[in-house]
Amino acid sequence: GQNIDQPTEMTATEGAIVQINCTYQTSGFNGLFWYQQHAGEAPTFLSYNVLDGLEEKGRFSSFLSRSKGYSYLLLKELQMKDSASYLCAVTPPGGSAGNNRKLIWGLGTSLAVNP
Amino acid sequence: DADVTQTPRNRITKTGKRIMLECSQTKGHDRMYWYRQDPGLGLRLIYYSFDVKDINKGEISDGYSVSRQAQAKFSLSLESAIPNQTALYFCATSAPGTARPQHFGDGTRLSIL
């Protein structure tokens, strides 16, 4: 089966660091996305990982371990505006080169940043 | 201007009515998607289209239909709306390729009474 697990809710303090985990069990793997979604708004793309390791992009970093079926999103120097839901999504392998199959989405982690 | 535009942004209607949600994009992407989002259930794919002549059912297509009128336009219809179709609906687009992210419209909040 296809399954993605994320914690439902997390709380952190302004200025701190928080790590949001995502584990997946899918029939094949061709990359993992992280999106941010503020309440009532559209999801927006944060990062994409396909190789093992850490990708850093400003205050946000994303890590992937393909052998463990595990990723995390690391948010540094938290700001109040980082209060949002963070969605993890996996791309299964395509049937031909360049064929991007439909994503498998996690339910999201709702992060509350407190002053 | 938004790259992915959904209309209407909000709609309240009655059970049994036919409703059309429209999506247009200026990103030049071939691939377009319709999702619904419900609290606790996350994003669920209704239909997707990889080009103008390609339409595919997603995980929850019953009660919905779509039309891909042009590369830039993808509309979702509820032929006879029912209350459990009350949800936040998103249109998204992407370029071909596994590393290409999906870009979402601002959503349509649909309430069916």
B41 in contact with chain A, both atoms CB, cutoff 8 A: yes
Average pLDDT on A42-46 reads 97
A94 in contact with chain B, both atoms CB, cutoff 8 A: yes
Which residue in B43, B44, B96 is closest to A100 by CB distance? B96
Q: Can the peptide bond before residue B83 be classed as cis, meaning omega within 30 degrees of 0?
A: no
Q: pLDDT-derived band of residue B2, with 50, 70 and 90 as boundaries?
A: low
Mean pLDDT estimate for chain B: 94
Cβ pair A100:B104 closer than 8 A: no
Cβ pair B99:A44 closer than 8 A: no
What is the maximum span of chain A, computed from C-alpha positions, in angstroms?
49
Distance from CA of B106 to the nearest CA of A (A): 5
How far apart are alpha carbons B107 and B98 in whole angstroms?
Answer: 24
Confidence (pLDDT) at A30: 86
pLDDT at position A97 over 60: no
Non-local (6+) Cβ contacts of B104 within 8 A are: A42, A43, A44, B4, B90, B91, B92
- What is the tens place of the pLDDT at every residue in B15-69? 999 999 999 999 999 999 999 999 888 999 999 999 999 999 999 999 999 999 9
Confidence (pLDDT) at A34: 98
Q: What is the 3-state secondary structure (H, E, C) of B36-50?
A: EEECCCEEEEEEEEE
Which residue in A40, A45, A107 is closest to B42 by CB distance? A107
